[in-house]
Structure 1
Amino acid sequence: MSCRYLVRRDLAGEIPPEIGSLSALQNLDLSFNSGLVGEVPAELGSLTSLVYLSLQQCGLSGMIPPSLGKLVNMKFFALNNNRFTGEIPSALGALVNLTWFDVASNRLSGPLPVSTSSADGLGLDTWPNIKHYHLNDNNFSGFIPPELGNAPNLLHMLLEVNSFSGPIPVTFGNLSKLVILSLHYNKLTGPIPSTLNPGLHQIRVSNNQLSGTLPDLSALNQLEYVDFSNNSFDPQPFPAWLNSSSSTLQTIRFENGSLTGPLPVDILHYPALEGLYLQRNQLNGSLTIPENIGKALRYVSLQSNNILSIVQTAPNTTVLPEIQLEDNPLCNKDTSGLVEVSPTLCSAEVESIGSNSSATKWISPLDSNNSCQSPCTNSWLTLNPYDCNCGVPLIVTLEFRALTSSNIDDDALWESLRNQTVIVDQLTEDFIKTSFTYQKVTYASPFKPEIVIGIEPSRDIGRVVSGISKAVIIGIAVGAGALLALVAFLALVVLRLKRRAEEERKKNPFASWQKAEAGEAPSLKGARWFTFDDIKSMTNNFDDDNTLGVGGYGKVYKGVMAGTGAVLAVKRAQEGSKQGAQEFKNEIELLSRVHHNNLVGLVGFCYEKAEQMLVYEYMPNGSLTDWLRGGKSDQPLDWDRRLLIALGAARGVAYLHENANPPIIHRDVKACNILLDKSMNAKVADFGLSMLVPDEHDKRNHTIKGTTGYLDPEYYATSIMTPKSDVYSFGVVLLELVTGKPPVSRDGHIVNQLKNTLNRAGLTGVFELLDPVLVDTPVQDLDTFVKIALECVGDTSIERPSMHEVVKQLEALVGPKSYFMPGGDNTVSAKPEKRKQRLLVKVPNEFPDGFEPASGQVSQASASASSQQSFSKYSGGFDPSPR
């Protein structure tokens, strides 16, 4: 008997003790019900048939009942993300069949129980089949028990964010299948063991008190992520043994460490390396930017070292990562020749000078005299010593030629007004204001900033002293009239100049970016301005042989950059798709701010010769449509890969809805807009300016946009687009993944087909629609996946979950490997091994209300040779959807 359909059901209250009477219950999953509070009843220990227990992310509290140690058939135990307190009861050591133990993100404390120290001789070390210790984010203390190293099948050792002290047990070297060792944010001391599993993919030991030198771990040739930051290691050179993992390393972190000597010449051409974080060390010598720089590299952080120079062998046309070198001796020199390397090479982000605004800006370094190093000519002044930009100097003289007003109070003031010269020799970004009383005079320079601004009189000037002659009064009036005429003339000149500048800005809004021959637009971060000739060369004059596809926007070409061989995708707008220049510029600025592992990244753009082109990263494995029904359909996607594609795409759309600034509605989520990179990671494409989330007062758009089969029926009826419209389209994609069918076919709409089939024959009937490749999919996986899809394609937006909720549901289905794929909580690429397939002997009687199969429709199939499933190196051990 199973009770697995109460996930996310908004359950509230406490778990009743009567649940202990369900003696035949095997699977119990009450996860993601935040209203479920109170303690876990001890009677739960009476469910001796229980194999799967998941109470994740509820509101449960109190201590873990020792009676749960009676559940000797238990394989999967997850109480993570609750408020449990106290110690782990040693009685749980009796769960000898356990493979998965997860109590992460609670308030548990005390030492970990092991058999050698507990009164009952039980503990976490008496689980012979354990594959996952997930104990992170608690308050555990004491030494890490060496006995935990006696787990021959262990894949994950997650003990980070606790208060463990003492050394890392040398017995961890016995963990021959360990993939992830995560011990960061503890109080560990001593050296790192010299013997660790050669198959390790991640070592995370940052923010401890580890000492000594790093051992030679060259036997570890599959590392993907290492973090040794913020410890107390002895001074040492950059570890050469990392070269043994040069083909797999994606992230190297050794911040605030003790690295000395030069950086290895070849470090930047590691092919998989995405981030190198070595700030606050004592590295010296030169930084070499090689010709064959790694294509995956995005960020190099070397601040606060002793780097003296840069050796650049890469051609100027190479797309380089962001490199940060501030607070190095190199930055005390003239770096103007290194703009091609990185515009922010020696930059830091600080508060704007002289401003109450919280906005920040990039500033360039100052020399020892706090002077700007900008190469301004003698005829130009530095606009701002913190910006190192140049501006024209202006000297403005205003002469007041009126009769002496010696009879008016404050003679000194009036005398100064007769001939006052204001010399501005240090301009700032803010307007510089010099105020004059009596006359309201404003001179607005066409060069900006406005440097002379008059104000209203601050004293009563209507009071005149008796004795002023008529001639004096007439003279004052004539002088004031002449001054007003001058002001009017200047105002007309300024108005004309402003109007001309505005017209020019509308014609070419990119003019202010000061395009160089080939480089980045100053307003953007990471988006390169390509010339038309660049694109023409890349695409072989837009040769049809380089066409990747044709869409509503225009043709998409494959482009190859000369010199580097970097492959890019060029999207060329056709005549009917071109925007106004300002709109195109706004779209580029928006896209350049959107960065996520599951979104296709903007590399650059071209606005020249009446052309509008966007340059994106190239996705070598095409679209999801290609793999389901196109040219790659002869290479079918297995179930695990489809799950990961669904999760990756969901994360991309969720980022657009919740993290983009401003939020973005995609409007056209569909299988052909989900692209796959070389590692088969999903990336969502084709989002832009026209898809901004509308204001409450501007939601209606009478032009229906989207693709037939994916359109939200509520949007179609009301013309009101919301993020839930994307959710509906994504639900259709999920149905495509499970059926392999297009959204609309001769059989009708895929959503209607599925709903009709479920009403007619229950979940069993879904096998009629199932992609034949997925015939061996575990029924629980299929059931959960279809339920998520059906929630997404609810008739009204209120019935549908948010994309954030969809991501969480898919993460729960995929299992822990979801946290180590791109776009998840960590950035390790998921490389799932294919599950050993099994045929379903029968559809079990485990369906939720409304899903029961009709009488006589239980399908039969021959059994597979293996009833066990082998999961990927990241999930390992136990099917999160057990039978």
Structure 2
Amino acid sequence: MISSRHTSSSAATAAAAMATPSCLLLPVLALLSAAFGAAAAATVSDDVLALVVLKSGLSDPAGRLAPWSEDADRACVWPGVSCDPRTGRVSGLDLPAASLAGRLPRSALLRLDALLSLALPANRLSGPLPDALPPRLRAVDLSGNAISGVIPASLASCDSLVSLNLSGNRLTGPVPDGIWSLPSLRSVDLSGNLLSGTVPGGFPQSSSLRVVDLSRNLLEGDIPADIGEAGLLKSLDLGRNSFTGALPESLRGLSGLSSLGAGGNALSGELPAWIGEMAALERLDLSGNHFVGAIPDAISGCKNLVDVDLSLNALTGDLPWWVFGLPLQRVSIAGNALSGWVKVPGDAAATLEALDLSGNAFTGAIPPEIANFARLQYLNLSSNSLSGQLPASIGRMLLLELLDVSANKLEGDVPPEIGGAVALKQLLMGRNSLSGGIPMEIGTCSSLIALDLSHNKFAGPIPMSMGKLTGLQTVDLSDNLLNGTLPMELSNLDSLRFFNVSHNSLSGSLPDSRFFDNIPYSFISDNAGLCSSQKNSSCNGVMPKPIVFNPNSSSDPLSDFGPSSPSNQHQKKMILSISTLIAIVGGAVIVIGVITITVLNLRTRATPRSALPTALSDDYHSHSAESPENEAKSGKLVMFGRGSLDFSTDGHALLNKDCELGRGGFGTVYKSVLRDGQPVAIKKLTVSSLVKSEDEFKQHVKLLGKVRHHNIVTLRGFYWTSSLQLLIYEFMPAGSLHQHLHECSEESSLSWIERFDIIIGVARALVHLHRHGIIHYNLKSSNVLLDTNGEPRVGDYGLVNLLPMLDRYVLSSKIQSALGYMAPEFTCRTVKVTEKCDIYSFGVLVLEILTGRRPVEYLEDDVIVLSDLVRGALDEDRLEECMDPRLSGEFSMDEATLVTKLALVCTSQVPSQRPDMAEVVSMLEMVRSPQGTPEDDLV
């Protein structure tokens, strides 16, 4: 037992370590280690000191470790610490999601020689794993951190280890040899890292392994042939790697295996019939491989199967009978080459909840018996060759949330019974030959969020009942034969963010709502009778054709309303007179208006223009930009920092087309020049009716004006009136990334090195913005500008915060050009929009940079989503085909693969699965400098 004097001395040393500058911390820790070594045996006091040392090496912004004090005699009451009740020694550390950052000190961990469990998941730990662990450790959970480097080979000597979870880190290198031979090991999860190379064999028959998860890494080669020797395995996940070859036959011996995941690899050959011998199998995922041939009927031997995913292979033949015969809940065989009829037997099990048969070559009619699956929530039959009518029995599917029958050969009317599917959230029937009218009963599908009837032959009016679908967010009725007016009831659809009725025969006014006031013209184009500000026409100016009667005609145009009489003749003359008067007066008004505008234009050109008002500083010293009677609403120009405070041109120059640089969702950008000769870019906001009050506007713009980073466009000033708001930015002469990717020739296209620099630069810009609490919301290639050195500069950041509230539906209507970049959480009111939406947009942007393709491409009969295209190519080992051909082999495919995988992780549908931007920067730097340490963080 260490004396109290020694304990006090050691505690004082630990306290000094916490107050010592970082340059002196290592010597102090060395002294602490020496003090530990002086003890004859480990004691409770040693545990206290070891934990103090551990604390000293970690950042603790949330203060979770504040009670950890060197003055304590025991650590058992500290947060996250548990002790052995017999000995009082520390036996467990459990601090999940505690915001801890830093490296795990090896010396402190080794001194905790009674530690059995180390659980620090979902923190921000970094650096390599310690090359040695406490000797009695049984459970390790360091998942969801930023730990890098290789898994130390010494891990294979931890004989007491039962559970190891290192998932969701940045570990590289191979899976260590000998790890499968640990006698007590039951669970290993190394998923979601950057592990590479082949997986070592050596699975002993005496293995205790129950769970092995190596998914989402860069592993390659064959799956170990002896993996089936681990006869107690319950769950095996090897998905989302680059494994090749066939499934090892040793797997057939795993009679207790309940989950087998090998999707997203490059496995080949036929599906083995012996899968049917795995009687305990509940989940089977072999999607995204190169399997060929028919689906074996023998799989029906897996009586416990619940979830089957065989999608995205090259499977042929008929749909196997067991899809409807087994008590399955989820089945996906999408993206294969299956053919024949879809037949539902009368004795089919009614347990199905999700069925995806899309992207095959099925023919015939949709069987009415599909409605017998009363639990079905997801039904996707799209992209086949199905014909006939949509069965009326669909209306009996009370739990159905998604019905996708798009891109088939369906015809005839949509049955009114469709209104019975009251749980429908997505009804997708585009690209068929459906005809007749849109049924009024659609209005009873009160849960609808997305409706796609485009590219059909629907005729007649849009039913008023659609105005009852208040949750509608996306509507596509384009390319039909619809006529009549848009129902005014559509103004009730407050959730709308996409409404496309282009290429129809609609007429009249648009509904009165914020969405329709700002609807993009492309959504209503090719409807000759529609009037809107987007089409530069007003329904108020459209006059009916004058009524003209033929005096020689024997027929009476009013005869249907009664016999001819003197009074009738008088009515005729009155109608004729009124019509004539209306036409004359209307024409006179138009002529007078044209003359007035011409005179005003001539006077304006002849009158000297006053310059935009100036301000000497943030004190808003200014003079009026308007007439004396509007002096209270005078404009104010404010410039941040040093520099000229006035323009060399006046405000009217902003309306000159020659000065226009481009247009975006929030305004038009013009080039101008300050008095000192410096060019600037001026954004004239077009959301004046939505912009916050003057004080809030100025407060937020000043915040944006303080943002300084070499990868961010600097906001230099602003101008405010109640009807005109301008933002003044530094001018970027080299144009936008969009121009360089999509409008440049092969000779002048960006090189691989330039593209990589742009990716890292944009990532660093987002890190800087997020650290200052600014979410971009509108990241896309047209908002990434290049300076004279080719450095990327992110612009248009934080503008959405100028609106009084974050109404994502207004926002989405303002940035429709960014639809391909928008994170899926924009479609759901209940999901909080955070920095993760920027990370999604960044992932799409990276794919755009790598491939040279647009995020969404609209073809005549299809819509190609870039992220889906690249993900499919990666799964099928065709990624090189997706790379921009202008790069012509000047890059490393291994490097490009790593960046692509990172981009796809960023575009995960689940926000929590996307990395933070700081993590993205670190991973990009590791890809660029794989043999050395990451470059200095420039953010």
Calculate the TM-score normalised by the size of structure 2: 0.43
Structure with greater proportional helix content: 2
